Amino acid sequence: MYQALYRKYRPKDFDSVVGQNAIVKTLKNSIINHNFTHAYMFFGPRGTGKTTISKIFARNINCLDPKDGIACGKCDHCKVSFSKDCIDIIEIDAASNNGVDEIRELKNKISLVPSELKYKVYIIDEVHMLSIGAFNALLKTLEEPPEHAIFILATTDPQKVPETIVSRCQCFSFKKISVDTIKEKLDYVCKEEKIKIDEEVLENIAILSDGGLRDALGLLDKLTSYTDKKITMEDFVSINGIISNKQLDEFVSSIMNGDIAKVLSSINDFDNDGKNLIQVITQILNYSRNLMVDHYLNNTKLAYDINKLQSFINKLNESMFDIKKSDNTRIFIEMLILNYMSSNTINNKAIENVVVEKEKEKVKEEKTTKENIDEPKKEEVKQEVVEEDDEEFDFSKEYEDTEEETEDIPIKTSNSLVISMPQKILNIDEIMNIRVNNTLAKADKKLLKEEQGNFEKLKDFTFDQEIGYIVCALLDSKLRAVSENNMIISFEYDSNVLQNIQIIDKITDVYTKITNSNKEIAIISDKEWEKVKNDYIKNLKDGVKYEVKDEPQPIYEEIENDGIISNSAVQLFGDIVVVE
């Protein structure tokens, strides 16, 4: 039976592991020095070796005669641990065994001594999928396990693992594997499997796999099934729904050169050929970034202005969130690029106008300076007159004269910085209380589970430049209760509650755009939630029903422009401030 490449070439010992040198060195030293602990947590992106290293570590600590932290492979324990029938190295999939009953069964069996090895090792994969009850059941065992038991927890999402669990483990962060390392490994596999493949394809597989060696081997496996001949870039492009480097270069050049017809024609061709337009935009972004880096590091000459390229990269990067969420990706991309091209043309004209104006001002200043030098006596006479009439001098007149004299001198505009004063919602407490009441009145456990799934979507946007801070704030909260139109989230500290209540409209807007869940959000503290929950349970027992109430309109505090804010801002920033 055919065996997938990622399984066939899975490392059997520490020396075969690639891309995680620091972790391997630490674990080997712990075996050499006999100071390994009872619980470990491995976290990082998929396909970076977490489960593989867990198995290798489990075998090595059970070896009777390890050499430099590596199992000998010859002793009785090694023969048992390397066999598929080993019952002392237990691998548990937390995604399908995430309940309290499974963990209780584990607790009952853990006290039994190992059958054949020194240590009984429990590898819990995707541990973040365990339920809260299962985590609580595991906690005591993890804190004080038997001497013969060792836990290794692996996860791609450490944020979901309770701090009480994390604090009892020795944690290792797995990093994405570099493109060069993946490429080197793929080259080795191709030679072993006698696969003929272009060098360019290997590099593109390494880039597309995004740091995951398992994904890279999976892509290579798919390509070998696609053709039994030499694998070319055309094969790679066809099977993965992307475009070639030549198409990338032509497309970016047409944007930089303002060829709108060519841009629209290219997007149309990509769409008709079944290309993944989001993946194409990601390609374009990476390709443009590589051009920019190559220009600055290697002084490579570009066929277009580097400033235009940088502006284009910023535009694409800022819009990736909206591109992914757009209902019609093609139209959105077309409008985005056309807007960039048109604004770039306007900006170029504006720059030309500024240069012309500055040249005119320079000539005018030189002319004014020359006139002042030629008429020194006239200035002296004027100064004397001012000194003689000082007591009855008209200050308003002086102001008017100054305006006339400086009319043609360029003045720094005051719209460089605009300070908008936030408006405080006076009845925010009343609004939050109404939302809490309305959520509990129609609370539904099924809707709660659905909303927990929506929270998973937030993780794709934690590093977004525009909304990342909002998403991180939501992920730091706990989802407490959900109804059809409302939901309650809580934060541990009151300071977080106050901070996020001030931007509740922004938080609601971002959450709705990402999840398409049109719900009003109530924000409270963990302590307040406990009180609300207890009151709710008591009222249910007493037969008291919660009724949905009308939410009041927000009342904003009126800010009087008494000059205090304005004066302070001007003192700090000078004449570049405009107070709205």
Q: Which domains does the chain have, with CATH numbers?
A: 5-173 (3.40.50.300), 245-371 (1.20.272.10), 428-541 (3.30.300)
> Measured between alpha carbons, how far is 444 from 470 in angstroms, rounded to an integer?
26
For the stretch 247-288, pLDDT in tens is: 888 999 999 888 888 999 999 998 888 888 888 898 899 889
β-strands 486-491, 417-419: how paired?
unpaired
- For residue 100, count CB atoms less than 10 angstroms from its CB and return exposed for 0-12, middle for 13-18, buried for 19 or more: middle
Residue showing tokens 């390509």: 223
- For residue 441, count CB atoms less than 10 angstroms from its CB and return exposed for 0-12, middle for 13-18, buried for 19 or more: middle
φ/ψ (deg, to 5) at 517:
-105, 100
β-strands 478-482, 486-491: how paired?
antiparallel
Total length of the chain: 580
The pLDDT averaged over each successive group of 10 residues in the chain (580 residues) is: 82 88 90 88 90 92 87 87 85 82 82 87 89 84 86 90 89 90 91 88 86 89 85 85 86 89 90 87 89 88 86 88 85 89 59 50 59 50 42 40 40 36 73 92 89 86 78 88 93 84 87 88 92 89 88 74 46 48
Q: Is 538 helix (H, G, I), strand (E, B) or coil?
A: helix
> Measured between alpha carbons, how far is 536 from 440 in angstroms, rounded to an integer?
8
β-strands 120-125, 149-155: how paired?
parallel
What local confidence, expressed as pLDDT, does residue 362 receive?
57
> Measured between alpha carbons, how far is 255 from 308 in angstroms, rounded to an integer?
10
Q: How many CB atoms lie within 10 A of CB 137?
A: 20
For the stretch 376-392, pLDDT in tens is: 544 443 444 344 444 44
What are the CA-CA distances from residue 389 to residues 101, 170, 288, 386, 394 (Å)? 99, 85, 68, 5, 10
Which has the closest alpha carbon to 288: 311, 258, 321?
311
Residue 573 CB partners (closer than 8 Å, separation 6+): 417
Q: Are 137 and 7 in contact (CB under 8 A)?
A: no
> Measured between alpha carbons, how far is 45 from 227 in angstroms, rounded to an integer?
30
> Measured between alpha carbons, how far is 365 from 68 in angstroms, rounded to an integer?
79
* pTM of this prediction exceeds 0.75: no
Whole-angstrom Cα Rg for the chain: 33
What local confidence, expressed as pLDDT, does residue 345 receive?
57
What local confidence, expressed as pLDDT, does residue 372 receive?
56
Q: Report how far Cα 63 is from the mean position of its chain's Cα atoms.
A: 41
Strands laid side by side in the 478-482 sheet: 478-482, 486-491, 520-525
Dihedral angle at the C-alpha atoms of 189, 195, 200, 206, nearest 10 degrees?
Answer: -30
Q: Cα angle at 156 between 151 and 158, to 5 degrees? A: 70
